[in-house]
């Protein structure tokens, strides 16, 4: 069976599962978003190992019996997964896959996505439908996030490009206003600017600045306000300045414990830099990408050539996180013309996704523990929608 047929079969199986399951789902943060979960996590961030007995039951339940642990939870729709599903449908539309009306599917889902946007800000934005306790504090549900919003922006941009409908262009322009006005900017001593993750913080999370920069560079093509592109350049300078000498990027700069280097956040930084470089070519950006990819290739894959969750700092419980697989495929597609071996990696990973990690009912394994135990709960936000999108994009790339 050749790659086209293999991936097509995997796509068909997933779509059949999605049609049965619907676009709502459970989430890895279900247990952590409860009142006990947020409190336990807050104490753990504050007191470290002293609070380990509070978080241990949640970790144990999520590792050993993730489906049973969610019996009292309702499935929810998520903006991130809606956006990825829309993008996957549009990829399938572009190659006229199976003569389905993928465009109608994407337009219908975009209506739900539009209803999910968060009001009260300068422009359209999206976040999580749950409370999220992190190192920077408790962010209530529906706090807009720059790691979620760009996928919705991209979905609207793709819909505008495919349909020509001005409503999608207006939604995209509105999101640019959010990215420009509603997030906090912190100027560094070098003159570069770091973006906050949300309107509530002033953090130095590297991938947050990368996502915001991409929206601004892309939005500058729609909006001639000079501040849009100027801020984008300053954010890119922060990302380049934050790259370690070995080519890696830490998750963040300001919080102890956030200096880890992991797979999918590295992919986030690299893919956003690549997309920015397509819009506004820069030798400095490309040098950073080359150096970053060299580190990524060396340190974030195992001996089988499959994605490792962490290069340093964490990663003792999980052998494989399928979110990493999705992002590795996406990165390989973006690098196809300039680093062909990255695309070959994407093909190898995708073969394993469909051959080893897709279940009989069509959805994918979520993760594999170090002891080999598979978490098969179909979390739609992490990584079901991402894997579907990556396979659809890969199938399109093979044409």
CATH number of the domain that residue 176 is part of? 1.50.10.10
Using a pLDDT cut of 90, give the percent of the chain over it. 90
Residue that finishes a domain, picked among 257, 291, 325: 291
Residue that finishes a domain, picked among 242, 274, 291: 291
**Overall number of domains in the chain:** 3
Query: Is residue 175 within 8 Å of residue 153, measured between CB atoms?
Result: yes
| Cα 272 to Cα 296: distance, rounded to the nearest angstrom | 15
Domain range enclosing 385: 1-29+77-116+317-399
Position 123 in a domain: no
pLDDT at 347: 98
Residues 62 and 82 in one domain: no
Residues 163 and 264 in one domain: yes
| Cα 219 to Cα 179: distance, rounded to the nearest angstrom | 9
Position 104 in a domain: yes
pLDDT at 165: 98
Residues 227 and 246 in one domain: yes
Position 270 in a domain: yes
* Per-residue DSSP letter, 26: -
* Per-residue DSSP letter, 280: S
Position 395 in a domain: yes
Position 296 in a domain: no
Residues 179 and 249 in one domain: yes
Q: Which residues, at least 6 apart from 317, have a Cβ–Cβ distance to it below 8 Å?
A: 59, 63, 369, 370
pLDDT at 223: 74
Q: Which residue has the tokens 């539309």?
A: 93
Residues 23 and 86 in one domain: yes
Query: 0.85 exceeded by the pTM?
Result: yes
Report residue 226's pLDDT band, with 50, 70 and 90 as the boundaries.
low
Q: What value does the mean pLDDT of the chain take?
A: 95
Average pLDDT (78-101) is 97
């Amino acid at each position: 069976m050749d790659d086209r047929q293999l991936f097509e079969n995997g796509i068909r199986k997933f779509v059949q599962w999605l049609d049965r399951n619907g676009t709502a789902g459970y989430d890895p943060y279900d247990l952590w978003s409860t009142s006990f979960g947020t409190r336990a996590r807050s104490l753990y961030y504050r007191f470290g190992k002293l609070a380990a007995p509070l978080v241990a039951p949640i970790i144990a339940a999520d590792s050993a019996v993730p489906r049973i642990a969610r019996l009292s939870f309702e499935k929810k729709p998520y903006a991130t997964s809606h956006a990825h599903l829309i993008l996957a449908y549009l990829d399938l539309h572009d190659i006229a896959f199976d003569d389905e009306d993928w465009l109608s599917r994407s337009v219908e889902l975009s209506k739900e996505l539009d209803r999910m946007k968060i009001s009260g800000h300068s422009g359209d934005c999206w976040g999580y439908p749950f409370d999220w306790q992190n190192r920077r504090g408790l962010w209530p549900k529906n706090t807009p996030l720059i790691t979620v919003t760009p996928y919705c922006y991209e979905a609207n941009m793709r819909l505008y490009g495919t349909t020509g409908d001005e409503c999608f262009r207006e939604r995209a322009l509105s999101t640019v206003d959010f990215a420009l006005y509603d997030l906090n900017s912190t100027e560094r001593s070098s003159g570069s600017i770091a973006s906050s993750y949300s309107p509530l913080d002033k953090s130095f999370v590297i991938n947050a600045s990368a996502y915001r920069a991409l929206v601004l560079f892309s939005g500058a093509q729609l909006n001639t306000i000079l501040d849009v592109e100027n801020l984008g350049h300053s954010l890119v300078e922060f990302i380049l300045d934050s790259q370690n000498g070995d080519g890696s990027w830490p998750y963040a700069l300001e919080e102890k414990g956030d200096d880890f280097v992991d797979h999918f956040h590295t992919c986030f930084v690299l893919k956003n830099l690549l997309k920015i470089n397509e819009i506004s070519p820069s030798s400095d950006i490309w040098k950073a990408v080359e150096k970053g990819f060299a580190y990524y290739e060396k340190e974030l894959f195992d001996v089988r050539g499959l994605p490792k969750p962490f290069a340093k700092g964490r990663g003792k419980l999980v052998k494989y996180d399928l979110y990493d697989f999705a992002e590795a495929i996406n990165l390989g597609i973006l690098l196809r013309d300039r680093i062909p071996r990255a695309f070959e990696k994407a093909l190898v990973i995708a073969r394993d996704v469909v051959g080893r990690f897709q279940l009989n009912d069509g959805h994918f394994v979520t993760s594999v523990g170090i002891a080999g135990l598979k978490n098969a709960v179909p979390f739609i936000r992490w990584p079901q929608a991402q894997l579907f999108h990556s396979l659809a994009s890969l199938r399109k790339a093979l044409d």
